[in-house]
Amino acid sequence: MNREFQVVHVKADTPKERGRQYGEQAADKILAGVENYRQYFEKSRGYSWDETKAYAAAYIPVIEKMMPEVLEEARGIAEGAGTGLEELMVLNTRYELTQYPSKLPECTTAAVLPEASADGGTYLIKNWDYRPGVLDKIVLVHLEDEKGTRILGLTEAGQLIREGFNSNGVGLCNNMIQSIYDTAGSGIPVTFLRRRVLASGCFEEAYGWLVHAARCVSNNMLLVDGKHGRAVDIEAYPGGHDEIYPRDGIVAHANHFVVHPAIDALKSRPKNRDSRLDYLLRTHRGKIDPDCIKECMKDHEYYPEAICNHSNHPGEDPMKGLMTVASIIVDFQKQQAHVCYGNPCEGQYKVYDL
């Protein structure tokens, strides 16, 4: 039977109320996620729960200063779910908490612009690779704010929207990279930054947030302008960033630095998923549509660490191993997202309207 992610519908005029609606609808998954990470950090990372919460809460002052409305939304999620803000902050800073000194390979992203597509459309693409233990805790959030901006995106329940697109034509997908400059420290957690970007009124506003945000760990961010058929991939690290632009209407990225490989902290990591996806898309250049992209995202070259990832093992701790937990294809022309639960080679994509 084809499985689907829970859809959370949110519409309110204040950040707190939007968060509360989200928290109430996804409360069971949020509380399960909190417990999931409590056990993970205690057993696998050797942190007490109090230490983990304190580390996560230390980000609150900089968020309060830079994007207080997003913090209010987080407070609302916690309130709606019946948990504390510190617990919710663990969910929303899990990238920072697990990134340094993490060595996980996560995610393959791409964009296809009008000159490379079959119908003149623009597409944003991602296979999200992460721990199997989060699969049943992922939600699809459809949100409308007081300005009438609509956002559709995927996230772990309790996290702010991680990636997706909005009715202003702004789309964002991300993948993990780790630089020699990464450290435990302060900055805007990437989940908060992504949420703020997805509220942007235009590409330029979103770009400004991505390149100017203070950060303590690296992150690769693929930003797409669905209204004007533009895209830029931003390899961001503490103290700087580099940019990769589409070539002939196609760009792909995975989990290593491309512009300046010398700053990659994980130089021995395989560097093949982005080049493989780039090759597959270019093979169909001028004929690329959602069905074509879906076939590309099922690819098993370099199995098990393929575009469609199967690095988990049956019976293993679900917070170990790795798998493609979700796949998303954003079609800006039709204002739709094609979303697959789990590995795309085993599931089916369902279409969701913005």
Strand partners, 112: 123, 250
Percent of the chain clearing pLDDT 90 (strictly above):
86
What mean pLDDT comes out for the span 343-353? 97
Ordered domains of the chain (ranges, CATH): 104-353 (3.60.60.10)
Cα angle 159, 340, 35 (rounded to 5 degrees) comes to: 35
Euclidean distance between CA atoms 205 and 222, whole angstroms: 14
Confidence of residue 312 (pLDDT cuts 50, 70, 90): confident
Which residue, 285, 283, 329, is CA-closest to 115?
Answer: 285
Position 323 pLDDT exceeds 80: yes
pLDDT of 68 strictly over 70: yes
Amino acid at position 86, single letter: E
Output the pLDDT for position 316. 83
Query: What is the radius of gyration, based on Cα positions, of the chain?
Result: 18
Mean residue pLDDT of the chain comes to 94
pLDDT digits (tens, 9 = 90+) for 156-206: 999 999 999 999 999 999 999 999 999 887 899 999 999 999 999 999 999
Is the model's pLDDT at 61 over the cut of 70? yes
* 167 closest CA partner among 12, 14, 332, 8: 332
| Calpha distance 91→26 (Å, rounded) | 14
pLDDT of residue 33: 96
**Bridge partners of 220?**
175, 235
Which string of DSSP letters, residue by residue, matches 76-131?
HHHHHHT--HHHHHHHHTHHHHHHTT------EEEEE-GGGBSSS--EEEEEEEE-
Over residues 39-49, the mean pLDDT reads: 84
The pLDDT value recorded for residue 344 is 97
Q: Check the CA dihedral 227-229-230-233 and report its sign.
A: positive
Residue with the two structure tokens 């580390």: 55
pTM reported for the whole predicted model: 0.96
Q: Please, is 288 exposed, middle or buried when counting C-beta atoms within 10 Å of its C-beta (0-12, 13-18, 19+)?
A: buried
Q: Within 10 A of 204 (CB to CB), how many other CB atoms are there?
A: 10
Beta bridge partners, 231, equal 224
